[in-house]
């Protein structure tokens, strides 16, 4: 058997493996966090067994746990919606039929109403999909092959990042999430070390892979279950795991109540803030994927600071509360910087709200009411358009340059690929235009539809047989003049 070239192996197998690893890693990190919460609950000191503290934990822990489940369900729904939309766009470009339940909303979408024939086209498609031997049949299914091709040919993570950052209004929503992630990462690093919360890196991983709200609610449960620092020595506290033993053997642990200098956290925030600031300028370029990886990797830097920097770069406080003043000043400064970045994004979105196009590479197959969205774009301005950008794409609910008034090239190519299967006669017949043969009898004038697409299609033929017939009849009735 001939060896498989490395590039073909990378493009064909690595992207599906990354998506599969995403799901498996979320499952593993959730298990790690749940195990750490259970161990913290078992190791609660006797001072936390008072009636008031027990009552507070009984009230708040179920609330935050329920909010975490709701956040997880919402993240799964948004992720499935985005993946399905990306698959539909890819399948339409590759001429792969879609099931009726996942097909575009043809009758309610004004932009696709003239491109589909619901009764004539989708019924045979439905039979090919769900019948015996269809691509979605359980016994003889090619869905895994199609999904593997879709993942190999579509950069789903880069697409979501670019769709959010390429327009100022959608970037306004994405930047809020990124800035909240930075501030929460610093809190996770500081409080996680002070309270000795295990597996803080797993919380940050879940924030990236699932959602910030899911990780935040789990961390709030951890704060309730570890109100006081847990003893860090294995003899009188929790038994050290293999991860802790390996970490301590590589990097010697710092003294108790040792905290890095606040300027180190400020440096980490500056690196992440600079990456967020450059995101709109690099959207759609070859550097966007590297910027996406850099913004995600730099958020782990505050968690690694206590293990990377030498002991001389920090301070050993006689009491943990002595570090509160410096960290409070740090968070006040970061709040001002975040406010400045948010104000800059708001001004940029307001400046581009008049001509910033809401369409993107997935617009042609989104289940949105195009007429209602167009009416909203015409009747509102400024902040209303910025708030409406949340519904442009599923990625806007989770992240400049002057935009063009024409749709993106990818959207135009998709539309042509969708309409190339339909003959000109079918489109004209659906709009009421008949292509009758030449005859002496006058042909009735075609009736015009009220929709804009019908008018557009009625004006598509530059010449018609009816005009030539009428010109010929006028020539026969009018006497010839020299």
Least confident of 79-88, 188-197, 307-316, 390-399: 390-399
Residue 135 has a CB neighbour count (10 Å cut-off) of 18
- Taking only the tens place, the pLDDT of each residue in 10-39 is 555 777 788 888 999 999 999 999 999 998
Tokens standing for residue 13: 């197998």
- Residue ranges in 352-445 assigned as alpha helix (H): 370-379, 383-388, 409-419, 424-430
pLDDT confidence of residue 240: 57
Residue 48 carries which DSSP code?
A: G
Residue 428 has pLDDT above 70, yes or no: no
pLDDT confidence of residue 220: 94
Least confident of 322-326, 331-335, 465-469: 465-469
Query: CA–CA separation, 440 vs 373, rounded Å?
Result: 48
Give percent of the chain with pLDDT exceeding 70. Answer: 57
Mean pLDDT of the chain: 69
Residue 319 has a CB neighbour count (10 Å cut-off) of 8
**Can you give the pTM of this predicted structure?**
0.65
Confidence band, pLDDT 50/70/90 cuts, at residue 188 = very high
pLDDT confidence of residue 110: 42
**Higher pLDDT residue, 167 or 415?**
167
**Which residue's entry shows tokens 């301070």?**
315
- Taking only the tens place, the pLDDT of each residue in 432-469 is 444 444 444 444 444 444 444 444 444 444 444 444 44
Bridge partners, residue 259, by sequence: 315
Give CA angle at 76 (342, 189), nearest 5°: 50
- Taking only the tens place, the pLDDT of each residue in 97-132 is 665 444 454 444 444 443 444 444 444 554 544 444
Which phi and psi angles does 68 have, rounded to 5°? -65, -40
E-strand ranges in 326-460 read: none
Query: CA–CA separation, 387 vs 378, rounded Å?
Result: 14
Average pLDDT over residues 388-415: 41
Residue 411 has a CB neighbour count (10 Å cut-off) of 19
- Residue ranges in 210-261 assigned as alpha helix (H): 212-225, 242-250
Confidence band, pLDDT 50/70/90 cuts, at residue 374 = low
pLDDT confidence of residue 443: 44
**Which residue's entry shows tokens 């299914």?**
141
Confidence band, pLDDT 50/70/90 cuts, at residue 68 = very high
Secondary element (H or E) of residue 170: helix 168-194
**Higher pLDDT residue, 240 or 152?**
152
The domains of the chain are located at 167-196+253-422, 423-466
pLDDT confidence of residue 385: 54
Average pLDDT over residues 360-365: 49
Q: Which residues contact 150 (CB under 8 A, 6 or more apart)?
A: 86, 87, 90, 91
CB 233 within 8 A of CB 43: no
Beta strand 314-316 pairing with 258-260 = antiparallel
pLDDT confidence of residue 67: 95
pLDDT confidence of residue 300: 92
Residue 163 has pLDDT above 90, yes or no: no
Residue 206 has pLDDT above 90, yes or no: yes
């Amino acid at each position: 058997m001939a060896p498989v070239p490395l590039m073909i192996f990378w493009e064909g197998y690595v992207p599906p493996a990354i998506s599969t690893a995403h799901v498996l890693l979320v499952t593993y990190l959730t298990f790690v966090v749940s195990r750490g919460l259970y161990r913290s609950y078992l190791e609660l000191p006797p001072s936390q067994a008072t009636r008031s503290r027990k009552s507070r934990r009984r009230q708040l822990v179920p609330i935050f746990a329920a909010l975490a489940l709701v956040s997880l369900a919402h993240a799964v729904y948004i992720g499935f919606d985005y993946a399905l939309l990306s698959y539909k766009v890819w399948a339409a470009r590759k001429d792969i039929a879609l099931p009726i339940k996942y097909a575009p909303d043809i009758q309610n979408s004004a932009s696709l109403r003239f491109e589909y024939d619901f009764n004539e086209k989708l019924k045979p498609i439905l039979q090919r999909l769900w019948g015996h031997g269809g691509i979605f049949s359980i016994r003889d299914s090619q869905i895994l092959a199609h999904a593997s091709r879709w993942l190999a040919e579509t950069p789903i993570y880069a697409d979501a990042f670019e769709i959010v950052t390429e327009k100022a209004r959608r970037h306004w929503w994405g930047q809020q999430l990124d800035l909240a992630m930075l501030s929460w990462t610093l809190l996770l690093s500081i409080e996680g070390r002070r309270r000795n919360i295990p597996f803080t890196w797993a919380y940050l991983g879940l924030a990236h892979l699932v959602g910030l709200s899911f990780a935040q609610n789990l961390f709030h449960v951890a704060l309730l279950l570890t109100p006081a620092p847990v003893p860090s020595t294995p003899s009188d506290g929790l038994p050290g795991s293999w991860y802790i033993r390996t970490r301590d053997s590589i990097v010697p642990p710092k003294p108790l109540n040792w905290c890095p200098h606040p300027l180190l956290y400020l440096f980490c925030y500056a690196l992440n803030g600079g990456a967020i600031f450059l995101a709109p300028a690099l959207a759609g370029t070859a550097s966007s994927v590297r910027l996406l990886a850099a913004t995600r990797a730099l958020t782990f830097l505050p968690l690694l600071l206590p293990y990377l920097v030498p002991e001389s770069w920090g301070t050993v406080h006689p009491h943990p509360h002595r570090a509160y003043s410096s960290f409070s000043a740090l968070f006040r400064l970061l709040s001002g910087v975040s406010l400045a970045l948010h104000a800059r994004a708001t001004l940029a979105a307001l400046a581009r709200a008049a001509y910033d196009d809401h369409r993107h590479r997935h617009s042609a197959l989104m289940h949105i009411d195009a007429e209602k969205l167009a009416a909203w774009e015409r009747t509102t301005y400024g902040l209303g358009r910025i708030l409406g950008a949340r519904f442009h794409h599923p990625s806007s609910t989770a992240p400049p340059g002057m935009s063009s008034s024409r749709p993106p090239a990818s959207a135009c190519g998709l539309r042509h690929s969708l309409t190339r299967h339909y003959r000109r006669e079918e489109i004209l017949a659906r709009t009421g235009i008949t292509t009758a043969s030449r005859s002496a009898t006058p042909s009735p004038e075609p009736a015009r539809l009220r929709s804009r697409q019908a008018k557009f299609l009625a004006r598509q033929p530059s010449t018609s047989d009816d005009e030539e017939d009428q010109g010929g009849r006028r020539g026969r009735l009018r006497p010839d003049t020299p």
